[in-house]
Structure 1
Amino acid sequence: MIKTYIAAFSLLFLTVGLSAQEKKLSKEEAVRLTLENNFGIQVAGNQVKIADNNQGILNSGYLPSLTGTAGANYNDLNSSTAYPDQFNTDGTPREDLEIDHAESQSFNGGLNLNYTLFDGLGRLYNYKRLKEQYQLTELQARETIENTLLQLFSIYFEVARLTENENVLKQALEISTDRITRAEYSFEYGQNTKLDILNAQVDVTNDSINLLNTKQQLANTKRDLNVVVNQSLSENFQVDTIVRFVPRLQLDELIGQAKENNVTILQTERNLAINEYDIKVNRSGYLPTIGLTGSYGWNLNQSAPNSFLPGQVIPGSNRTSLTLGLGASLTWNLFDGGRTTTLVKNSKIAYENQELQQEQVAIEVDRDILNALASYENRLTVYQIQEQNVLTNQNNFERSKEQFQLGRITSIEFRQAQINLLNAQTNKNLAKYDAKLAELQLLQLTGQLLNVEF
């Protein structure tokens, strides 16, 4: 029986030993891969490129429009002209006049130029509005990056937690396996009963199952991380389990600058500026539009021969013409049925709504920061308590181990001390990464998530 448990134990350690040779995926490398490869971030980057194109001079309406036209026509004429009851001077009947394949062609080409000189300043304000829209899109992309990084670290730290739990469970399995050996020897020398061997075997079974389940969870979570960083799902790696917290003085300074850096507040400011330009664009409908036009044309007509005078064929001719035209126009929509007035009123209401939303967002961000700070402080305190709890349970376990080897406590009491230590260690791991995630959420609210070391 003992050989069976040792074989199972050795197989688990062989798997763990192979995983120890996996490459190390640092936090910095994970962030780099995410920024370069994550699908959501790439989509957000393309949206920024579209907004950049929209804010360019080619989409501003300030450039003139130039159109070219060209055309060609071809005719082939066959005609026969009869002169009944008509005679030549010598008294003979007048012959019919035949014109075969009288070809005529016409060609034309032209350029038309149109330029809006003044449109009530609507073009200017729309151009500025597109500039604001570009900045808003950049902020939206930044928000996507921040949310993606939070998702990255929630999974990264879960991998780290499961990795540490795996090591803890591996140690627990080693202790339980060693108990079987001791129980077997003690039984052979009559120092204990078969019950101690059975208890040890049950504990090895439970520890083996817990370790296998943790390894499976770890493998699944690694695949989740591979999806975020957009690399092969079969990619295997080890993560950094060291956690560093931002100093409290630096954290307080960042919280004080939150209103200037929070991405949600900045987006409301951009939306407010966009709505302000909407009002000005709609007001431009009250003013006239002044435009300039220019045209240049070329025409070539090649006419066919025809019968014009009795008994005579007039040969065809070629006619070429060039035309140049310049013009100006003024259009003033004196009354459009109230459409412009309605647009202006509605845009003003939309601006007022955006102001209200800006105030609401400011209050909500203040609330979220206070909640996040309280959560961070609480989780950090829990982590510090759990660290001390591990030391206490470690000391208790070492003493229990000594007492168990001396035969002063039962295997059940020893197992309970071992379970208490195991729970303390796994609870400490959970508290550590919960505290770090709470810190990152707080940093996102302060607008500094992308500006600190992870």
Structure 2
Amino acid sequence: MKITFIASSLLLLSPYCLALDLVEAYQRAKTTDPNWQANVYQYQADQLNLGIAKGNLLPTVTVSGNITRKHQDLNQSDMGSGNIFNSSDLMSSTSTTKQATITARQPLFRMDAWQGYKQVKTSVQLSEVTLKLQQQQHLLNVAESYFNVLRQQALTLTNAQEEKALLEQLNMMNAKLREGLVAKSDVSEANAQYQNARANRIATGTQLILAQEQLAQLIGPYQEKLAVLRDDFQYQKPIPSSLEEWTNLARSQNLDVLQARLQQQYANDQKRVEQAAIYPQIDAVASYGYNTQSPKTIISNDGQFDQVGVELNWNVFNGGRTKRNIDKASLNVKKSDSQFDAALRKANTDVKKSYLQVETDQATLQARKAAMESSALVSKASQAQYSEGLKNMVDVLLAQRNAFSTKQEFVNAQYDYVLNVLRLKASVGQLNEAELAQMNAWLIYK
């Protein structure tokens, strides 16, 4: 039997292709991921709201003009006969009036506009924190997708190696069976183990393809090999070293908490905007224009005109809508208070979970590595003992299966640790491009 190994689909690529590391992958994601680009455009649009709100406090100038044609039928009284109305006495008059006006308006007291401007300033700050949160999540998604490809590559390679070793074992057992040196049951056991390894290799190969597609969705199609974890990769204790310090960082720097705090402030600003509706609006208004009428009459008011004054508008009663809007805004304030408390609790839980998991990973990695090395020695010893007649085939296959199983567990422990470090950084709002560059130092081109 011949087997086509999945090494070609592992690395998929020519050895002459350039390698792609984690930093380069993220740089590509920033320029090719449409979801991230949409977030950036939304942020840029939000920044323009401040100028729009500021315009409500600044002077406005409007230019207006009109041309009016007026036609009127006139009655001419017959004084001699005393006849007040006679159809033969009807006359018509037509006139055209042209007017152009420029008006300047400056708000003097606009509590609604001022409170609205303050709310928009809060919303701009909120959009900045939201973009940072989206960037951190985007960075985490790219890193998780990248390391998931590396994980599946390593697992698939391990399964392919196991499949190859079991195939060689099966071929050897078949040869011995033909010579009558082994029982048929031993061959059946070897075949069962081989078929199981083959199924595992196929399954992890599929997971590898899916992982590669997930990464390509974020960074676009790529042809390069990925830089992989160094062979001398070592566990590094998180800094700061105490859980209390990490918890304090989460309370002050967690981006979900900062976002909830600004949403709380935004809700309070909205309440003040609604309360501002009870105040009058006072504007200074100045107009300048020109008026002409043709044909001219004795009462025509042709010529330039100007006027300056103060205008007051006060919505004294609007059916109770103002009060209801204030009540609604008050409830939204209470809602934002509850959401802030929930964000604090979640941040506290997330940072503890990530910290403890990273701490646990140290012992796990050491244990998995020791188990991997020991099981490899046991597997080799079992094969030697089988050759000497001290072990049966079931013992050999079991030891061999255990060796590859512990190797897979070690691979999973490595990538679990890497991802937990990322999540720990994210829980305190410190997952950024600088942190990604430091993690990139764990990678090497092969």
TM-score by length of 2: 0.79
Counterparts of 1:199 and 1:236, CA distance in 2:
41
The equivalent residue for 1:329 is: 311
Matched residue, 2:137: 147
Q: CA deviation at 1:381?
A: 3.0
Please give the alpha-carbon distance, in whole angstroms, between the structure 2 residues aligned to 1:322 and 1:176.
103
Residue 115 (structure 1) aligned with residue 106 (structure 2): yes
Distance 1:216 1:23 in 2: 24
Which range moves more in the overlay, 328-337 or 376-385? 328-337
- Paired residue for 1:275? 267
1:38 is matched with: 33
AA paired with 1:109?
A: A
Query: Residue 61 of structure 1 aligns with which residue?
Result: 56
Which shifted more, 128-137 or 437-446?
437-446
SS class of match (1:327): strand
Matches of 2:198 and 2:174, distance apart in 1: 19
Candidates 282, 285, 294, aligned match of 2:286: 294
Q: Structure 2 unaligned runs (5+)? A: 73-92, 440-446
Matched ranges for 1:37-186 at <5 A: 37-56=32-51, 59-72=54-67, 106-119=97-110, 121-183=111-173, 186=176
Q: Which structure has the bigger radius of gyration? A: 1
Per-residue CA deviations over 1:96-144 (Å, capped at 9, x if unaligned) read xxxxxx997543322222221112x433332121111111122222222
Q: 1:74 to 1:333 in 2, by over 3 A?
A: closer
Query: Distance in 1 between the 2:316 and 2:294 partners?
Result: 48
1:175/1:357 CA distance change after superposition, 3 Å: closer
Q: Secondary structure at the match of 1:292?
A: strand
Alpha-carbon distance between aligned partners in 1 of 2:261 and 2:278, rounded to the nearest angstrom: 28
Once residues 6 and 274 of structure 2 are traced to their aligned partners in structure 1, the CA distance between those partners, rounded to angstroms, is 72
Q: Alignment partner of 1:250: what SS?
A: coil
Q: Distance in 1 between matches of 2:201 and 2:29?
A: 30
- Are positions 1:261 and 2:253 aligned together? yes
Whole-Å Cα distance in 1 between the matches of residues 70 and 315 of structure 2?
Answer: 46
2:402 paired with 1:420: yes
> Residue 452 of structure 1: which of 418, 429, 435 is its match?
435
Q: Give the percent of matched residue pairs that are identical in Structure 1 and Structure 2.
A: 19
State the shift of 1:392 in Å: 1.4
1:26 to 14, 21, 24: 21
SS at structure 2 position matched to 1:257: helix
For residue 98 of structure 2, give the secondary structure of its aligned residue in structure 1: strand
**Residues 425-440 of structure 1 mapped to structure 2, 5 A cutoff:** 425-440=407-422
The DSSP-based 3-state class of the residue aligned with 2:56 is coil
Equivalent residue number for residue 373 of structure 1: 355
* 8 A contact 2:39–2:131 mirrored in 1: yes
- 1:247 equivalent to 2:234? Answer no
Q: Which moved more, 1:418-427 or 1:20-29?
A: 20-29
Distance 1:175 1:258, change over 3 A: same
What amino acid is aligned across from residue 452 of structure 1 in structure 2?
E
Deviation at 1:425, TM superposition (A): 1.3
Is 1:227 matched up with 2:217?
A: yes
Alpha-carbon separation, structure 2, partners of 1:181 and 1:58:
79
CA distance in 2, matches of 1:341, 1:18: 67
How far apart are the structure 2 equivalents of 1:205 and 1:381? 34
Q: Deviations over 1:299-336 (max 9, x none)?
A: 333339xxxxxxxxxx9xx9952222221123455677
For the 8 Å contact 2:277–2:322, the answer to whether it is kept is yes
**Which secondary structure state, in structure 2, belongs to the residue aligned with residue 248 of structure 1?**
coil
The residue type equivalent to 1:26 in the other structure is D
| Stretches of structure 1 lacking an aligned partner (at least 5 in a row) | 78-101, 305-314
The offset of 1:46, in angstroms, is 2.2
Structure 1 stretch 318-327 or stretch 58-67: which is displaced more?
318-327
- Using the TM superposition, give the Cα deviation of residue 168 of structure 1 relative to its aligned residue in structure 2, in angstroms: 0.8
Indicate the SS of the match to 1:376. helix
**Which deviations, in whole Å up to 9, do the C-alpha atoms of 1:188-210 show, x marking residues without a partner?**
66644566555545544443332
The answer to whether the 8 A contact 2:251-2:257 is kept is: yes
Structure 1 residue 417: Cα displacement: 0.9
The one-letter code of the counterpart of 1:371 is K
Alignment: residue pair count = 418
Q: Which amino acid aligns with 1:270?
A: L
Amino acid at match of 1:272: Q
Shift of 1:345: 5.8
CA contact (8 A) 1:245 1:436 kept: no
After superposition, the Cα gap between the structure-2 partners of 1:68 and 1:245, relative to the gap in structure 1 and judged at 3 Å, is: farther
Q: How many angstroms does 1:155 deviate by?
A: 3.0
CA shift for structure 1 position 260: 1.5
Question: What one-letter code is carried by the residue in structure 1 that aligns with 2:306?
Answer: L
Report the TM-score when normalising by structure 1: 0.77
Residue 164 (structure 1) shift:
0.6
CA RMSD in angstroms, aligned pairs only? 3.9
The change in CA–CA distance for 1:411 and 1:329 in structure 2 (over 3 A counts) is: same
Structure 2 distance, partners of 1:405, 1:340, is: 92
Q: Report the residue type matching 2:51 in the other structure.
A: G
Q: Equivalent residue for 2:385? A: 403
